[in-house]
A and B are shown apart, each in its own frame.
Chain A
């Protein structure tokens, strides 16, 4: 089955630690995205990547870093510089970065920083 996997579903970390969230897709999609969801707010774009070895900052990139070394993988690192890291993180992908491409979402990772 083609799809997007994110692991783990729940993640707990101590304040001050970096943590990396996994996102893998086997849809052969070029574009991948990371969004953050907070209670009572819409999803917000953290980073996106149109193609391997290229990525761009979204609206709330501060305190986060990404890499895109392989087409199918787009890991997100939440660094200790992120002031409020506790949130629900969603990864998405689309066949390309064009305006009319549907985005497919992973199941999400709920990160809690203690």
Chain B
């Protein structure tokens, strides 16, 4: 069974710091997702990766398929980045819609 491990579980940093959140998984995957969940509970998809690196504004996501590892980076962090960041993977299913496997999330707090 695929396991998705995130680290750290909790992270508190000062505004402006460079943030890194890590995600490791145990089986081959077709895609990896980074999601953001705000205190109200709604989830926003940040990135979907199957290889390499993607950048959107101050957010950067990388994936190393061989090492089964992904990182989410936040540059110039801001208090509005405070949220739970969730890593989720899609095990290759040959086209079947069997959902995602999720990590437990990293709770990030950026202090002004």
A residues sitting closer than 8 Å to B (CB atoms) are: 31, 33, 35, 40-45, 48-50, 56, 58, 88, 90, 94, 96-100, 102-108, 110
Contacts and interface: CB of A to CB of B under 8 A. Distances in A.
A88 B84 CA distance: 15
18 contacts: A40-B104, A42-B88, A42-B102, A45-B99, A48-B97, A50-B97, A96-B97, A98-B95, A99-B90, A100-B31, A103-B45, A103-B100, A104-B45, A105-B44, A105-B45, A107-B41, A108-B41, A108-B42
Interface residues of B, number: 30
B40 to A, nearest CB: 7
B92 A99 contact: yes
Contacts, number: 74
A41 B100 CA distance: 14
Interface of B: 4, 30-31, 33, 35, 40-45, 48, 50, 86, 88, 90, 92-105
